[in-house]
């Protein structure tokens, strides 16, 4: 295999562990914390998880290791979308397992949960693991999005676990994947299989966090990657001085990525979906907000700018959410086939007009035709509109263009408007992890094995105090059920991990809010540049602006 110079050097990087985990396996013991309860719907969650609910949070501290000695055979999967650092979780897990007993075994199940169901795995050894240290991607064993949620699936997983002598399974994933981990852990405990289940918090969207999980892994690297690209575009815009760049970034259910990129790069505009929902902003209100910035800058002779738009923004607009809900009903059952069989767009337009309420059709009718058509592209597995396919960056630039035309005719706008469009998504999911993510992920994996060794199940590997240097990080675990509530999914009430949205009274948003009026008019761009892997710690090991503001770190 041909290796780049950077890849060769990254293989040799030695991730930093929390101070306590550096003591050596024999000098790590457990300190019990308080008993836990779910974030909401306590009685319902407790009834669904009688064997794993209400357990104590725990912290690893210095002391004599009191865990029972036994051979461990651990299975690990990567679940859901890629996030930088996943390989290091597996490397940390492997190193801790082998440091405890060189006879311990780590099996990597291929293709995510499907690997557990199909019994498709590889046994890791030193050479295999060493080829993936500190690298991006999930290609070590691949990933998948199959949900583990039925008794039939659990029966198969349990049978395969027994066949391979598994003592534990580690699931590396986001909120849905760790919901599956909690459910699988409950099944394994209820059926006395002896198989423990541990989760690790992953998602570049940043929405798997709370007072215990300060950040999900991958968020740091992905937002730094996007911020580098946005900074490059800002510099180009300030050089050419003739385009407004509308940049969509990942984050369907929450706007953490957009907010962090705004804090890093200080664009003229950044939409925050949670604020749009709270203020019940219409498409027209958002359009006018962006157009106001374009007008003021244009009238000052600055016919350029940058607007950051979160991927799922339209779902936060009340009128658009209502429109999507009506479209989902309009095409329910076999009506999709009926719609697709219509001869041309005019016929489809009439079908839509007759099927929507007058309020929703009024919203539909102001949309550019390409967005109208994107609303009727291939449905998701549940028959719903695939919001991620809607080019919201083009939607808003077109609507701003129309609004500016009116303002020019009215004589208030004297500038020129030209737009460029970008979507940054896959560019950040498999980047070489930053030093922070390399360290954090390695620590999560190492810590996951300590939870296994001490007999815990249904726990999430937890490393906290991560706004400080790594030797001050605190390792431990928390019951996954602590993060759960009941939500309506596909017509049924389901236990799920509650997504963390941008807090409008939180320090990161408040900082953004305090500066955005100035950024909207003044060219205040900052250029973060590429991720730094070598050099002073204050350059290479810094965390995100979001985490620094949340923890009051200067």
- 212 as an active site residue: the answer is no
Average pLDDT, the chain: 95
- How many Å apart are CA 21 and CA 48, to the nearest integer? 34
Look at residue 54 in the predicted model and tell me its pLDDT.
Answer: 96
- How many Å apart are CA 293 and CA 297, to the nearest integer? 6
Same domain, 248 and 193: no
Is 2 a member of any domain?
no
Residue 505 CB neighbour total at 10 angstroms: 6
Same domain, 528 and 391: yes
Kindly report the pTM of this predicted structure: 0.95
Same domain, 476 and 343: no
Higher pLDDT, 328 or 233: 233
Domain count, the chain: 2
Look at residue 332 in the predicted model and tell me its pLDDT.
Answer: 83
Per-residue pLDDT tens digits for 85-108 = 999 999 999 999 999 999 999 999
CATH of the domain at 330: 3.40.50.460
Give the model's confidence band at 36: pLDDT under 50 very low, under 70 low, under 90 confident, else very high.
Answer: very high
Is 444 a member of any domain?
yes
Same domain, 475 and 532: no
- How many Å apart are CA 475 and CA 488, to the nearest integer? 34
Could you give the angle at which helices 358-366 and 345-355 cross, rounded to 10 degrees?
140
Give the model's confidence band at 381: pLDDT under 50 very low, under 70 low, under 90 confident, else very high.
Answer: low
Of the residues 205, 220, 437, 439, which is catalytic?
205
Give the model's confidence band at 336: pLDDT under 50 very low, under 70 low, under 90 confident, else very high.
Answer: confident
Same domain, 76 and 213: yes
Look at residue 239 in the predicted model and tell me its pLDDT.
Answer: 98
- How many Å apart are CA 174 and CA 508, to the nearest integer? 22
Q: Encode 410-430: b = buried (16+ Cβ within 10 Å), e = exposed.
A: eeebebebebbbbbbbebbbb
Look at residue 389 in the predicted model and tell me its pLDDT.
Answer: 81
**Polymer length of the chain:** 554
Same domain, 356 and 483: no
Residue 411 has pLDDT above 70, yes or no: yes
Look at residue 379 in the predicted model and tell me its pLDDT.
Answer: 67
* Contact in structure between 359 and 318 (CB atoms under 8 Å): no
Is 1 a member of any domain?
no
Per-residue pLDDT tens digits for 452-498 = 999 999 999 999 999 999 999 999 999 999 999 999 876 789 999 99
Give the model's confidence band at 329: pLDDT under 50 very low, under 70 low, under 90 confident, else very high.
Answer: confident
Same domain, 420 and 439: no
Same domain, 247 and 359: yes
Percent of the chain at pLDDT > 90 equals 89
Look at residue 490 in the predicted model and tell me its pLDDT.
Answer: 66
Look at residue 383 in the predicted model and tell me its pLDDT.
Answer: 63
Same domain, 274 and 364: yes
* Two structure tokens written together for 342: 């219509």
- How many Å apart are CA 182 and CA 202, to the nearest integer? 15
Comparing 199-203, 362-366, 383-387, which segment has the lowest mean pLDDT?
A: 383-387
Same domain, 305 and 369: yes
Is 497 a member of any domain?
no
CATH of the domain at 437: 3.40.50.450
Is 27 a member of any domain?
no
Same domain, 329 and 348: yes
Nearest Cα residue to 390 out of 449, 493, 471, 314: 314
Is 330 a member of any domain?
yes
Look at residue 1 in the predicted model and tell me its pLDDT.
Answer: 63
* Contact in structure between 394 and 420 (CB atoms under 8 Å): no
* Two structure tokens written together for 28: 């790590």
Per-residue pLDDT tens digits for 239-285 = 999 999 999 999 988 999 999 999 999 999 999 999 999 999 999 99
Is 498 a member of any domain?
no
Per-residue pLDDT tens digits for 498-538 = 999 999 999 999 999 999 999 999 999 999 999 999 999 98
Look at residue 378 in the predicted model and tell me its pLDDT.
Answer: 76
Average pLDDT over residues 26-53: 96
Is 335 a member of any domain?
yes
What range defines the domain where residue 191 resides? 34-218+433-489
Give the torsion sign (CA, 290, 291, 293, 294): positive
- How many Å apart are CA 143 and CA 174, to the nearest integer? 12
Same domain, 258 and 145: no
* Two structure tokens written together for 501: 């949205």
Residue 288 has pLDDT above 90, yes or no: yes
CA atoms within 13 A on the CB side of 298: 21
Domain final residue pick, 445, 464, 489 = 489
Percent of the chain at pLDDT > 70 equals 98
């Amino acid at each position: 295999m041909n290796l780049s110079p950077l890849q060769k050097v990254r293989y040799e990087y030695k991730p930093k562990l929390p101070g306590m985990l550096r003591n050596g396996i024999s000098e790590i013991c457990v300190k019990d914390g308080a008993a836990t309860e779910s974030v909401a719907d306590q009685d319902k969650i407790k009834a669904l998880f009688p064997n794993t609910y209400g357990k104590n949070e725990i912290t690893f501290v210095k002391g004599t290791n009191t865990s029972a000695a036994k051979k461990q055979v651990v299975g690990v999967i990567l679940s859901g979308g890629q996030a930088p650092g996943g390989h290091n979780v597996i490397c940390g897990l492997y190193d801790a397992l082998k440091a405890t007993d060189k006879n311990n075994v780590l099996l990597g199940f291929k293709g995510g949960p499907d690997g557990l169901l199909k019994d498709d795995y590889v046994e890791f050894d030193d050479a295999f693991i060493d080829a993936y240290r500190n690298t991006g991607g999930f290609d070590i064993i691949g990933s998948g999005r199959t949900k583990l949620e039925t008794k039939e699936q659990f029966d198969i997983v349990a049978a395969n676990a027994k066949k391979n002598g598994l003592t534990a399974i580690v699931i590396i994933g986001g909120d849905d994947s760790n919901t599956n981990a909690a459910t699988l852990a409950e099944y394994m405990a209820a059926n006395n299989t002896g198989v423990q289940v541990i989760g690790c918090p992953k998602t570049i969207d940043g929405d798997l966090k709370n007072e215990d999980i300060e950040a999900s892994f991958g968020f740091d690297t992905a937002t730094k990657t996007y911020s580098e690209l946005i900074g490059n575009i800002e510099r180009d815009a300030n050089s050419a001085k003739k385009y407004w760049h509308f940049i969509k970034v990942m984050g369907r259910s929450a706007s953490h990525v957009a907010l962090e990129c705004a804090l890093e790069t200080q664009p003229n505009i950044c939409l925050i979906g949670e604020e749009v929902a709270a203020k019940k902003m219409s498409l027209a209100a958002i359009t006018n907000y962006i157009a106001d910035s374009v007008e003021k800058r244009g009238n000052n002779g600055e016919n350029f700018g940058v607007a950051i738009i979160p991927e799922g923004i339209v779902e936060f607009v009340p009128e658009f959410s209502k429109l999507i809900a009506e479209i989902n009903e309009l095409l329910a059952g076999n009506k999709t086939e009926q719609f697709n069989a219509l001869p041309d767009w005019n016929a489809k337009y009439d079908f839509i007009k007759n099927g929507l309420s007058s309020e929703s059709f009024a919203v539909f009718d102001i949309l550019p035709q390409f967005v109208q058509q994107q609303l009727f592209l291939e449905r998701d597995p549940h028959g719903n509109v695939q919001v991620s396919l809607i080019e919201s960056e083009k939607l808003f630039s077109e609507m701003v263009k129309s609004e500016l035309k009116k303002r020019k005719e009215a004589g208030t706008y004297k500038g020129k408007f030209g737009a460029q469009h970008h979507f940054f998504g896959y560019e950040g999911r498999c980047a070489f992890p930053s030093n922070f993510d390399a360290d954090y992920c390695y620590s999560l994996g190492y810590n996951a094995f300590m939870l296994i060794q001490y007999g815990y199940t249904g726990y999430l590997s937890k490393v906290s105090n991560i706004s400080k240097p790594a030797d001050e990080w605190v390792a431990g675990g928390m019951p996954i059920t602590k993060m759960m509530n009941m939500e309506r999914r596909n017509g049924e009430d389901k236990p799920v991990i509650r997504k963390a949205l941008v807090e409008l009274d939180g320090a990161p948003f408040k900082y953004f809010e305090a500066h955005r009026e100035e950024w909207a008019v003044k060219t205040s761009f900052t250029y973060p540049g590429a991720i730094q892997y070598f050099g002073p710690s204050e350059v290479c090991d810094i965390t995100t602006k979001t985490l620094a503001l949340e923890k009051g770190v200067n």
